[in-house]
Structure 1
Amino acid sequence: MIPFPGWGPSDRSGLTAVEGGVTAVPGFRAAGTVTGVKASGKPDLGLLVADQPAAVAVLTTTNQVKASACTLSERHASDGRARAVVINSGNANVCTPDGEVHTARIAEATAAAIGSATTDVLVMSTGIIGVPLPIERIEAALPGLASTLTADGGPAAAEAMLTTDTRTKQVGFQVTDDQGSCTVAGMAKGVGMIEPTMATLLVVLTTDAPVHPQILRSLLQRATDTSFNRISVDGDRSTSDTIAVLASGLATSPPGVETLGRALQAVCADLAHQVVADGEGATRVAAITVRGAATEDDAAALARAVATSLLVRAAIHGADPNWGRILMALGNAGVDLDPRRVSVTCGGITVCRFGVAASFDRGQASHAMSRPEIEVGIDVGSGRSSATVLTCDLTPEYVRFNSQYTT
């Protein structure tokens, strides 16, 4: 799936889609269960376990109100190895009196259940902030959950990590080049509080490629920068954002590092697209693509300013080709800009040329913007660099849902 031109790696040769989520990768088992943390009674505890210690890399939120699960996972991944990722949903375990203690207890109980060192367990928590976590329910459930781990349990773990998501988010590829092949897969959750600087949401990635932890982290950062770091649903960066990638090393003839990085980028890009498409209340996805910028960083900043504008997102919901709001947002990006050089297209139709209105059929443009996926193209005439940020429309359903989230 290539949702938009310029989104994800341009070269997807050698990539073949595989089913099964994170356990499509040899060397991993997973499971999910119900503990009662969620009032709905839906699955709320997921577990991924590597059969042997795996290479690991972790990225977490830059929000200064940071979940203890993030800091524990960073600490436990610092030696470059891990055995498990445990994920509870329905409660973020943030800003509570015993948050750090409860996070440590989750790691300890998981380690005991799978027979590993506590320092080889990563923890992710997501859900309501400020409500004490019923830790006893999670501790009681972990031994039974560990006993149900299977090599086809990826989808169950993906379901257990959901909060307000309407569907699971999973991607997998077998990737091959002239050196060999391996598998790269991932699962994600997140539909609200999506505005990353690192990455927003929870993401678990797996591969069977043998790779050094430092190289793995470099590949993860590169893939994240052009995927999860370039999506926005509501402009709010979560307290619990974590991306973890584990490499079992079981592939006996792996592809080259560049090919592995391309596959990892494809998995991250496709998961990021799924997150935006499932944004709370969203009815359409918009790719904001800025071209002609002096640098890629400038292009990304300009695209993000448009993607996070509430006025632009409201116009996207109404299929309104209101290009004036787009120029307004560009001017707030903190990037040097000459509006007389800016041209804008909405759904492929030019609505602004050199900073003033172009001649266009408003009805035709509105129709083009009514599609489930649209591109807003912006050329700022300052250079040769480009970047794309994905966003979704701002809908009455988003406001309704988030006005009643805890009540």
Structure 2
Amino acid sequence: MSAVTDGTAVPSLQGVTAAAGFRATGVTAGLKPSGRPDVALVVNDGPSDAVAAVFTSNRAKANPVIWSQQVVADGVARAVVLNSGGANCFTGSFGFQTTHQTAEAVADVIGVGAADVVVCSTGLIGVGGEAFREGVLRGVGLAAAGLSTDGGPAAAEAIITTDTHAKQSVVSVDGWTIGGMAKGAGMLAPGLATMLVVITTDADLASDALDQALRAATRVTFDRVDSDGCMSTNDTVVLMASGASGTTPEVGDFQEALTAVCADLARQLQQDAEGASHDIAIEVVGAASEDDAVTVGRSVARNNLFKAAVFGNDPNWGRVLAAIGTTDAEFDPYAVDVSMNGVRVCHAGAPDRPSDQVDLTPRDTHVHIDLGVGPHAATILTNDLTHDYVHENSAYSS
């Protein structure tokens, strides 16, 4: 599909190269036993080089996150290089040196400084060594030779690990465009960002405006995907602006479009979560504050008993109330209403309509929780807990 022009994000065939001023590609460097593409490169040809990024809040940060936090501190970046097939986390000083050498290799081939190259990695924690380093550096050379203005799809393919497909989205408004790609299927829990995301725009905005818009967008999108409650060591969302459109939109308008792209990519992450058979939206309303609504929704999203019940098509609303009762949110447990797929099964903390009226067989599942104490609301996206999820993660290292 091509980008639309009304501000609505759609899955895209171009992703990060939909915006003018960007080239990208994805190549096979031999990092994955499967032989699938594993190194991606996205280059901003300008004229602007503004950047903003958010990273995992996990205290156990991978080497590329430590490096990239320094890169974006001055608001300038010219490229993002990403590898799958190894997280380069807990790989010691050798791992950080590998990250630095990767940035230097990109800098040499595109003619910029290493301090202007963001580095991202994804894959198994603890994977490193000479073979990993040689593969990544080999991939940089191959990618530099294959950069193209229509290379977005190849880049999106090269960053996936347990994902079943690449994830891209684009929005185009009034002569400027935002395009993005994402990867993520496991360890999907928030910490400013969720998994690896690269977003590009040809709008002409300074780094402080990009940072403002990005933090506002991720707060209500990626930060509210909580598929399995497990926070990655490598989570990165980076936004680069080329300014190639020559248009400077209002920050509010840009933020709205950016949020649409982030929301679309977040939804794609949820729909591809490892082993999931239900995509669950937990909508909390009637909260005393937005933070309370998020806290309540996240508590339900991380409750394994609730998630297992949904997998079994069992509308066990008692597990919902038990989950929210563990929070410090303001509410009276005996004044809460719970609906599942449009059927109110609990009213004022007591049974309402019979549970057998609830149909949980559709993949899309909606849980509506009314706390009844205020005007605030929030929605958390999660998934059920399935046999396939357990099997996939029990065999991840093998």
TM range (shorter): over 0.9
Q: 1:15 to 1:234 in 2, by over 3 A?
A: closer
Write the distance in 2 (CA, Å) between the matches of 1:13 and 1:306.
35
Give 1:247's aligned amino acid. Answer: A
Residue 298 (structure 1) shift: 0.5
Residue 254 (structure 1) shift: 4.0
Q: Does 1:397 align with 2:397?
A: no
Write the distance in 2 (CA, Å) between the matches of 1:115 and 1:253.
26
User: Which residue of structure 1 lines up, in the alignment, with residue 356 of structure 2?
Assistant: 363
Residue 300 (structure 1) shift: 0.6
Write the distance in 1 (CA, Å) between the matches of 2:55 and 2:167.
19
Q: Does 1:267 align with 2:261?
A: yes
* Percent identity of equivalent pairs: 46
Residue-by-residue CA offset, 1:111-141 (whole Å, 9 max, x unaligned): 1121211011000000000121510122123
User: Which residue of structure 1 lines up, in the alignment, with residue 369 of structure 2?
Assistant: 378
Question: Out of 142, 155, 158, which is 2:153 matched to?
Answer: 155
Write the distance in 2 (CA, Å) between the matches of 1:282 and 1:381.
31
Residue 13 (structure 1) shift: 5.0
User: Which residue of structure 2 lines up, in the alignment, with residue 91 of structure 1?
Assistant: 86
2:178, 2:202 within 8 Å by CA — same for their partners in 1? yes
Q: Does 1:120 align with 2:116?
A: yes
Question: Out of 26, 33, 38, which is 2:27 matched to?
Answer: 33
Residue 210 (structure 1) shift: 0.8
Q: Does 1:50 align with 2:41?
A: no
Write the distance in 2 (CA, Å) between the matches of 1:202 and 1:141.
18
Name the TM-score, length of structure 1 as normaliser: 0.93
Give 1:41's aligned amino acid. Answer: G
User: Which residue of structure 2 lines up, in the alignment, with residue 77 of structure 1?
Assistant: 72
Residue 36 (structure 1) shift: 0.7
Write the distance in 2 (CA, Å) between the matches of 1:121 and 1:161.
17
Residue-by-residue CA offset, 1:339-369 (whole Å, 9 max, x unaligned): 1110000000000000011132x3330x2x2
Residue ranges of structure 2 left out of the alignment (5+ in a row): none
Residue 257 (structure 1) shift: 1.8
RMSD: 1.5
Name the one with the larger strand percent: 1
Q: 1:137 to 1:103 in 2, by over 3 A?
A: same
Write the distance in 2 (CA, Å) between the matches of 1:358 and 1:174.
46
Task: Point out 4+ residue stretches in structure 1 off by more than 4 angstroms.
Answer: none
| Paired residues for 1:253-402 under 5 Å | 253-360=247-354, 362-365=355-358, 367=359, 369-402=360-393
User: Which residue of structure 2 lines up, in the alignment, with residue 192 of structure 1?
Assistant: 186
Residue 315 (structure 1) shift: 1.3
Give 2:227's aligned amino acid. Answer: V
| Paired residues for 1:213-224 under 5 Å | 213-224=207-218
Write the distance in 1 (CA, Å) between the matches of 2:271 and 2:8.
23
Residue 316 (structure 1) shift: 1.4
Write the distance in 2 (CA, Å) between the matches of 1:284 and 1:325.
17
Residue 253 (structure 1) shift: 3.3
Q: 1:131 to 1:143 in 2, by over 3 A?
A: closer
**Count of residues paired in the alignment:** 390
Q: 1:276 to 1:145 in 2, by over 3 A?
A: same
Residue 312 (structure 1) shift: 1.1
Q: Does 1:132 align with 2:128?
A: yes
Give 1:269's aligned amino acid. Answer: A
Write the distance in 2 (CA, Å) between the matches of 1:333 and 1:267.
31
1:175, 1:255 within 8 Å by CA — same for their partners in 2? no
Write the distance in 1 (CA, Å) between the matches of 2:251 and 2:8.
14
1:170, 1:187 within 8 Å by CA — same for their partners in 2? yes
2:51, 2:240 within 8 Å by CA — same for their partners in 1? yes
SS in 2 for 1:219: helix
Write the distance in 2 (CA, Å) between the matches of 1:64 and 1:257.
31
Write the distance in 2 (CA, Å) between the matches of 1:138 and 1:19.
26
Give 1:379's aligned amino acid. Answer: D
Instruction: Please identify, of 152-161 and 71-80, the stretch whose mean Cα deviation from structure 2 is larger.
Output: 71-80
1:331, 1:337 within 8 Å by CA — same for their partners in 2? no
Question: Out of 162, 165, 186, which is 1:164 matched to?
Answer: 162
1:175, 1:259 within 8 Å by CA — same for their partners in 2? no
Residue 157 (structure 1) shift: 0.3
Write the distance in 1 (CA, Å) between the matches of 2:304 and 2:197.
26
Q: Does 1:144 align with 2:158?
A: no
1:293, 1:299 within 8 Å by CA — same for their partners in 2? yes
Write the distance in 2 (CA, Å) between the matches of 1:115 and 1:272.
34
Residue-by-residue CA offset, 1:82-120 (whole Å, 9 max, x unaligned): 110000001000001311111111111111121211011
Residue 16 (structure 1) shift: 6.5
Write the distance in 2 (CA, Å) between the matches of 1:363 and 1:324.
14
User: Which residue of structure 2 lines up, in the alignment, with residue 5 of structure 1?
Assistant: none
Write the distance in 1 (CA, Å) between the matches of 2:314 and 2:395.
28
User: Which residue of structure 1 lines up, in the alignment, with residue 225 of structure 2?
Assistant: 231
Residue 255 (structure 1) shift: 3.2
Write the distance in 2 (CA, Å) between the matches of 1:253 and 1:211.
9
Write the distance in 2 (CA, Å) between the matches of 1:16 and 1:188.
14
Give 1:363's aligned amino acid. Answer: D
Instruction: Please identify, of 239-248 and 252-261, the stretch whose mean Cα deviation from structure 2 is larger.
Output: 252-261
Write the distance in 2 (CA, Å) between the matches of 1:359 and 1:139.
61
